[in-house]
Amino acid sequence: MSSPSRYVDDSAPAQPRVLLVDDEPVTLMVTSAALREHGFLVREASGGQEALDLVTESVPDIVVLDARMPGLDGFETCRSLRARPGFENLPVLMLTGLDDDASITRAYQAGATDFFVKSNQWSLLDGRLRYLLRASRTRQELERNRAKLARAQDLARMGSFDWRRQGGLSLSAEALRVFGRSAADRLGMREVLRMVPPEERLVMLRMLRQTLQRSSVLTTDVPVHLADGRQRVIHVEAEAEFNEQGQNVGYTGIVQDVTDRRIAEDKIRHLANFDALTGLPNRRQLIWRAERALDQARRMHHDCALLLIDLDRFKVINDTLGHAAGDELLMEVARRLRACVRHSDQVIEGSLETIGVRSHRSLEAVGRLGGDEFVALLPEVDDEADAARVAERVLVSMREPIFVGGQECFVTASVGVAMYPRDGNSVADLMRNSDVAMYSVKAQGRNAAAVYGPQLAGRGREKLELETALHKAIERDELVLFYQPKIDVRAGTMVGVEALMRWRRGDRLVPPGDFIPLAEETGLIVPLSEWAMNEAARQARLWQLAHGYSRSIAVNLPSRLFERSDLIDHIHRCATANGVPHRVLMLEITEDNLMKDLQNVIPALHRLNEIGVEVAIDDFGTGYSSLAYLTTLPISELKIDRSFVRELGFNPQSSAVISAIIALARSLGLRVIAEGVENLRQMEVLSRLGVTEMQGFLFARPMPADELGAWLGGGTGASSAASGGDRVQAALAQAAASAAQGVRS
Amino acid sequence: MFDADALARLQALDPQGASGLVERVLRTYAHSLEQLGDAMGAALLAGDVVEVGKHAHTLKSSSGSVGASRLAALCASLERRTKAVQVPGGAAAEGPSGAPPGAQASAELAAETNALLREVARARAELRAMLPD
C-alpha cells in the first residue's frame, strides 16, 4: 500500500509548468532563474494582460502572480482568470510585499489559492509551489472521484441520503433522481412515505420505528409509485450515526432502484424452475413441490399420488419428423397434460402455513422431467382409484391426433402411478416406483396406466430398458443366428449345425446369457424363438441352394414353446414359406425344461415326431431325469452336458456318467453328442468312450452364416460334401497341432 | 551596495554561468535604476506623490531581488512615507503644531526622495564599474 501523497507524487509531472507574472524585470529574471534552477518550466509575463493571453495559449500547472503591477494588477488578473471556464481551480500564488497585509486579504478575495511574501529564499518558494501543486492534484483527484461516484450512482440508479433527528431528510441529486425528481426538488420524509402504497406504508413505518429504537442497520426493499405513474422497487440501506456522546443523531445511507434486478431475479427464478420448451415446472421445481406435498400429506394424513407419464415411441417421431416437430409435439402434449390436473404455475417459496391449510392444492401440477417424460403431482387423493382416474384422463387426452410438421401424429403414453404413503415415503421412492410401474406398461404393450405394486419391484430400470430394447430387436432386425458345426470325428464330416442366437445391439454383440433369461422371464422368448425357427429355415434353404446342404439346423426352444398349440403350425409355416422340409429344423430342449413341464411337453414331442422334426435333449445328465420316461419320449438325440466334458480326465465320475449315457442311448436307439469339446484330450477320451459326434471350440466356434460357407464347401452337389469334409479334417489336424505345441511349451 | 552573499546566491542560480545570468541581472538592474531614478525625480518635481510611491515600490522589489538590501530598505521607507502622505489627515497626527501638515510632510518626502536618488546614483556608478562595457 502506498501512501496517498506517494500516489499523488507518482502522478505529478516531472517539470511543472509555471507562469510567472511580474512587471518588474529584475525580479522576473531572478525569480524565473531560481524556479528553473528548482526544476520548473517557466514562462514569463511582464503584466496582467500578457499573462491572460499566455494562459489561453497553453495552460500552466500553476500561476505565480505579482500583486502590484501597473495596468492590470495581480488581483484583477486573478479575478479574470477565475472567471474563465476551466480556470476555476488552477492554483494561483500571489506574490506580495513583506508588510502588505491588505494585499493578502485582497489576494484571497480575488480568488488566489495562496500568497507568498517575496523573498530571496528560493527554496521556500519552491516548497510552496510544490505544496500547492500537490494540493491541486489531490483536489483534482477528489473531484474526479466525486464525479465518478456520481456517475456510478447514476448508473446503478443509486443515490445517497442523510436523515437527522433534527433537520429531517436530505437527498443527494442522484437519490432524487431515483425517486423520479430533479436535483432542484425538495423531498421530505413525508413525501417519500406517501409514494409507498398504503398497505406497505404501515409495515414500513413499523419497521422504521423499530430500526430507530434499536439504532440498528436498515436494509429493505420498498415498492413505490413515482409521480409519473411508474412503479419501482427501491432498495434502502442505512446505518445509524452517533455523536460524541454516543447518541443516535440520525441515519446515513443509500437508496437504489432495484426494479430491473427484481425482474431479472424473477426471470432467473422462473428459468431455474420451469422448463424452457413447455413452460411446465421442471424437475427441480417438481421435486420441490412434491417434497412440500409429502410434508403436508404427512401432517394431514392423506394420500398423494405421483404419475410418471412417458410418451410411447417419441424417439421415432423425433427421428422421422425432426426435432422441431418433436418440440412442437411436446408443447402440445404439455398443453393437454396441464388440462388433466388443477395445474398451478405459481412458484411457492416460503412457508405454506401462511397461505392456508388447503394451500397444498396449489402444488398440483404437471412437470417435465426432460425428454418425453412428464410427471403429474396430485398432492391429495382419496385413493388409488382417484389417481387412476387422472391417469385415464391423461391417456384419453392423447387420443386426438396432434398436428405437427405438416402431418397428423398419433401419440400414446405409458403412465406409472405411485401412491404416498403406500408405495414410498420419499419423493425419490415414489419417482422410482412410478418409473417401475410405467415400464411395466411399456413391457406389456404401452398406451396404458399401471399402479405400482410390489410384484413389479426388483425389475430395475436397466432391465426394463433392456426389455424394451429387446422388444424392438426383432422389428429392427437386430437378432442374428450364429451357427456351430456338429462334427462326426470318426467320419471326419459335419453332421449338422446348432443355431445360437446373438443380439447386435448397436456395436455390441450381446451373448445369449445376457438376454435369453430376460426374454424367458418376460415372455419375449416366444416371438424370439419363433423368429429363430423361421430364420433357421431360411438359412437352410440358402445353404441348400448354395452348397447342397441337407442336414438339420438345431434351434433351442424353452418348454413354454412346446406347450403352445401353434408350435406345429408355426414350424409348418416356416418350412413351407422357405421351401424346406420339416426335418431341416431340429429342436433342442434342456433336460431341466423338459422335466419341469414334462406332462405339457409330451404331446408336442409326439406331434413333432409325426411331422419329422427331431428333438434333442440339451444339457443332458445334469437334471434328475427319470430314465423311465426317456424310454417313452419320442426324442432323437442326447447332448451330453458340457460340465462332464470339462471334467474329463480330472473327475473319474465324469467318464462314468458319460459311459452310462452312451449305454442308455444305445439301448434306446438315440444319438449322443458331446458339447463343449475344447481340447484334443477331451476328444480322445470321448472317442474312446464311444462318442463320435462332438461340438466345441476345438472344431469351431459359433459363427455367422456366411463364414460357415467354408465348412459347407464352395460349390453344389457331390463335391460339397468332400470339401466340407476337408474343412473338418483341417480343423482336426489344426487342433492336433496346437495341442502338440501346447504340450511342448 | 550588495549583501555579502547576494552575488553568490545569484551565481548559484546559474552555476555554470551558461546563461550569463549574473551579468544580465546586473545590467537589467542598472537599467532599472536609471529609469526608475529618472522617473522618480520627475515625479517628485511634478509633486506626484503616488507616482513616487509606485517607483519606490518597484525599485524596492528589484533591489530586494538582487540583494541590494540597503537600497531596498530605503525604498520601502520612502514607499511607506508616500502612503502616509496620501492618507488624508494622516500626516496631521504626526505633524508638529503650527506648520501646515501637508507642507511639512511634503518637505520630508522630498528630502527622503532626494536622499534615495543620491543613493541610486551611487549604486549606478558602482554597477558601471562592475560591468564591462
pLDDT value of residue B93? 42
Between B103 and A662, the higher pLDDT residue: A662
Using CA atoms, how far residue A60 sits from A8, A95, A540, A730, in Å, is 18, 17, 108, 109
Indicate the burial class of A439 (C-beta count within 10 angstroms; 0-12, 13-18, 19 or more).
buried
Strand A62-66 relative to strand A92-96: parallel, antiparallel, unpaired? parallel
SS3 of residue A451 by DSSP: strand
* CA A64/CA A16 separation, integer angstroms: 12
H helices present in A301-415, as ranges: 314-321, 323-340, 384-397
Cα angle for residues A191, A196, A197 (degrees, 5° grid): 130
* CA A183/CA A567 separation, integer angstroms: 97
Domain B6-87+99-130, CATH 3.60.20.10 — does that match? Answer: no
Q: CB–CB of A704/A480 below 8 Å?
A: yes
Q: CB–CB of A290/A430 below 8 Å?
A: yes
Using CA atoms, how far residue A715 sits from A487, A705, A708, A709, in Å, is 20, 16, 13, 10
**B14 interaction partners in chain A (CB closer than 8 Å):** 33, 37
Per the CB < 8 Å rule, is A25 touching B54? no
**Per-residue confidence at B86, pLDDT binned at 50, 70, 90?**
low
* CA A137/CA A7 separation, integer angstroms: 10
Q: CB–CB of A634/A612 below 8 Å?
A: no
pTM of the model: 0.43
Cell of B80: 511607506
**B31 interaction partners in chain A (CB closer than 8 Å):** 25
Q: Element (H or E) spanning A378, and its range?
A: strand A373-381
- Integer-rounded Cα Rg, in Å, for chain B is 17
**B29 interaction partners in chain A (CB closer than 8 Å):** 26
Q: CB–CB of A248/A241 below 8 Å?
A: yes
Per the CB < 8 Å rule, is B25 touching A30? yes
Shortest distance between the Cα of A66 and any Cα of chain B, in A, equals 10
pLDDT value of residue A715? 45
A276 touches chain B (CB under 8 A): no
* CA A661/CA A671 separation, integer angstroms: 10
Among the partner-chain residues A27, A70, A97, the one whose CB lies closest to the CB of B65 is A27
Q: Is the ipTM of this complex over 0.90?
A: no
A-interface mutation test, from B1, B10, B13, B55, most A Cβ less than 10 A away: B13
* CA A556/CA A725 separation, integer angstroms: 26
Domain boundaries A4-152, corresponding CATH code: 3.40.50.2300
Among the partner-chain residues A26, A36, A68, the one whose CB lies closest to the CB of B28 is A26
Per the CB < 8 Å rule, is B61 touching A26? yes
Domain ranges within chain B, ordered by starting residue: 6-87+99-130
Shortest distance between the Cα of A145 and any Cα of chain B, in A, equals 40
The contacts of residue A527 (CB under 8 Å, 6+ apart) are A474
SS3 of residue A326 by DSSP: helix
Domain boundaries A276-459, corresponding CATH code: 3.30.70.270
Number of other residues whose CB lies within 10 A of the CB of residue B121: 13
Residue corresponding to grid cell 419423493: A427
Report B:42-61 residues touching A (Cβ under 8 A). 54, 57-58, 60-61
Q: What is the dihedral of CA A716, A717, A721, A727, to 10 degrees?
A: -20
Peptide bond into A223 cis (omega under 30): no
Is the dihedral angle over the CA atoms A284, A288, A291, A293 positive or is it negative?
negative
DSSP A147-202: HHHHHHHHHTTEEEEEEETTTEEEE-HHHHHHTT--TT----HHHHHHHS-HHHHH
Tell me which fold the domain A474-744 belongs to. Answer: TIM Barrel (3.20.20)
Q: CB–CB of A408/A402 below 8 Å?
A: yes
The DSSP symbol for A362 reads G
Per the CB < 8 Å rule, is A33 touching B65? no
Number of other residues whose CB lies within 10 A of the CB of residue A462: 8
Per the CB < 8 Å rule, is A68 touching B57? yes
pLDDT tens per residue across span A108-125: 999 999 999 988 888 899
pLDDT value of residue B33? 93
H helices present in A224-346, as ranges: 259-273, 283-300, 314-321, 323-340
Instruction: Look at residue B94 and tell me whether its pLDDT is greater than 50.
Output: no
pLDDT value of residue A70? 85
Number of other residues whose CB lies within 10 A of the CB of residue A477: 9
pLDDT value of residue A427? 92
* CA A544/CA A538 separation, integer angstroms: 10
The DSSP symbol for A454 reads G
pLDDT beneath 50: ranges in chain A: 1-10, 350-357, 715-723, 742-745
- Integer-rounded Cα Rg, in Å, for chain A is 50
- Report the DSSP beta bridge partners of residue A20: A44, A64
Q: Searching chain A, which residue's CA lies closest to the CA of residue B73?
A: A98
SS3 of residue A274 by DSSP: strand
Which residue, A573, A452, A590, is CA-closest to A525? Answer: A590
Residue corresponding to grid cell 515625479: B43
Strand A553-556 relative to strand A493-505: parallel, antiparallel, unpaired? parallel
Q: Within a 13 Å sphere around the CA of B97, how many CA atoms are in the beta-carbon half? A: 0
SS3 of residue A83 by DSSP: helix
Domain ranges within chain A, ordered by starting residue: 4-152, 156-263, 276-459, 474-744
Find the largest Cα–Cα distance for chain A. 152
Among the partner-chain residues A29, A99, A122, the one whose CB lies closest to the CB of B28 is A29
Architecture per CATH, domain A156-263, reads as: 2-Layer Sandwich (3.30)
A37 touches chain B (CB under 8 A): yes
